[in-house]
Amino acid sequence: MSPKHNEEKISPLAPESFPPMPDIAGVALAAGACGLKKSSDSDLMVVELAPDTTAAGVFTRSLTASAPVQWSRKALRGGGQARGLIVNSGGANVFTGAKGMQAVERTVEAVADQFFCCPSKIFAASTGVIGKPLAFDKIIGALPRLKADLAPGAWQAAAKAMMTTDTFPKGATRTADIGGLDVTLNGIAKGSGMIAPDMATMLAFVFTDAALPADVLQTLLAEAVEKSFHRITVDSDTSTSDTVLLFATGQGGDHRPITGAEDGGLDDFRAKLAGLMVDLAQQVVRDGEGATKFITVTVGGAETDHAAKRIAFSIANSPLVKTAVAGEDANWGRIVMAVGKAGETIDPERLEIAIGGVPVAKAGGAVPGYDEAPVAEHMKGQEVNISVNAGTSGGGQATVWTCDLTHGYIDINADYRS
């Protein structure tokens, strides 16, 4: 990351502070600088997990997936067991050939040596410039120091170590009930640009002290990702490194055994996990490169939920819509354009559009007596809401989140490697 990026002001959409996050039994974290970044910023974090920790993961569907993504997919197929996690920023280790995979293998083996386990129980993730060989020797050299620094409360430091063009560290916590016993969920994430469904240049790691089988974790994670990280976009570019991992240490107490994902005892946990991941996903959007406004796009009246989602993303990914929001221009015609190009069935004569809850268009044209003043006032705020009824007889609906598109996005990405 260039000095310019370090000098970037914190996003105006950022939370007031990083949330207080409780310790989770069976989780210890450490972070520090190993020299992967041009600056002296923290660029490496490691997590040690208790024996018998279970794991689940969702990864990018990019056909040019990173070497760490390929490694972690393989580790997950090995039985869903985890003892550690190693994450670096300052280099994505993507499109680096055989040397890239060797770098992951050497790094993971070194972590496994520190944690006295087999390499297949170590997960890995990387973020940064694509095509740059990973200096794994620097990572390996820093591991003894990081192992000595492992502590249960280093959540914010770990989140900071993952940052690239991010302007603030991202974290969230929830408490859930399983069979009358409270369990804790903590999550940290990074992401600012190259954000689109399938998730984003987005790394997210969620930890719980619940005792849950790996197959149950996988089902719960997939459901939560669909409601969260698959509903965000900053620039419509799908990353090569998307990784969401969920770890369950089983160290939080003796709640009744859970044998299947449909167990009613998981209802609160399922809801809290989804809520935590929506929180993290929205923080990623709020830290969108150059963002000044957070946009919620809601679509109803579509033939199916899938159709509604496609229409919503057509709006959320439209540069014309996003720049209109940046300029606080209530140009609802651009929303009409984005709906029309989505390729999904709509009824133009029944199509309805509202901005900030104010109807602007229906029945094939502008609302009679339309007054733009309240819409223009709404668009001056940091939160902009766009809603569309596609006008079909179906009940399909979806909500996605995005941000505006400003000169700041160009400035950051034009200067990314300098």
Which CATH number belongs to the domain containing residue 377 in this structure?
3.10.20.340
Which CATH number belongs to the domain containing residue 115 in this structure?
3.60.70.12
Counting every residue written for the chain, the total comes to 418
So what's the pLDDT on residue 193? Answer: 62
Examine the domain organization and report whether 304 and 267 are in the same domain: no
Examine the domain organization and report whether 364 and 250 are in the same domain: no
E strand or H helix at 292: none
How far apart CA 403 and CA 300 sit, in angstroms, is 20
Q: What residues are annotated to the active site?
A: 201
* Domain boundary, last residue among 256, 286, 316: 286
Tell if the pTM clears 0.95, that is, is over it. Answer: no
Examine the domain organization and report whether 299 and 353 are in the same domain: yes
What's the number of domains the chain is made of? 2
Are 360 and 353 a contacting pair, CB within 8 Å?
yes
Examine the domain organization and report whether 192 and 302 are in the same domain: no
Q: How far is CA 230 from the centre of its chain?
A: 9
Examine the domain organization and report whether 260 and 308 are in the same domain: no
> Facing residues of 232 across strands?
401
So what's the pLDDT on residue 190? Answer: 94
Are 221 and 271 a contacting pair, CB within 8 Å?
no
Examine the domain organization and report whether 250 and 324 are in the same domain: no
How far apart CA 360 and CA 372 sit, in angstroms, is 8
Domain span including residue 334? 294-414
* Domain boundary, last residue among 263, 286, 309: 286
Question: Residue 415 burial (CB < 10 Å; 0-12/13-18/19+)?
Answer: middle
Examine the domain organization and report whether 277 and 302 are in the same domain: no
Query: How many CB atoms neighbour CB 363 within 10 A?
Result: 13
Examine the domain organization and report whether 63 and 123 are in the same domain: yes
E strand or H helix at 384: strand 383-389
So what's the pLDDT on residue 202? Answer: 87
Examine the domain organization and report whether 185 and 80 are in the same domain: yes
Examine the domain organization and report whether 258 and 363 are in the same domain: no
How far apart CA 194 and CA 175 sit, in angstroms, is 31
Examine the domain organization and report whether 217 and 311 are in the same domain: no
So what's the pLDDT on residue 5? Answer: 43
* Domain boundary, last residue among 250, 266, 286: 286
So what's the pLDDT on residue 323? Answer: 97
CB environment 50-74: b (16+ within 10 A), e (fewer): beebbbbbbbbeeeebbbbbbbbee
pLDDT along the chain (418 residues), means of 10: 52 97 99 94 98 96 92 95 98 94 98 98 94 95 98 98 94 97 98 52 93 98 96 74 96 92 97 98 93 98 98 97 97 98 98 98 96 97 99 98 90 64
Examine the domain organization and report whether 270 and 312 are in the same domain: no
So what's the pLDDT on residue 70? Answer: 96
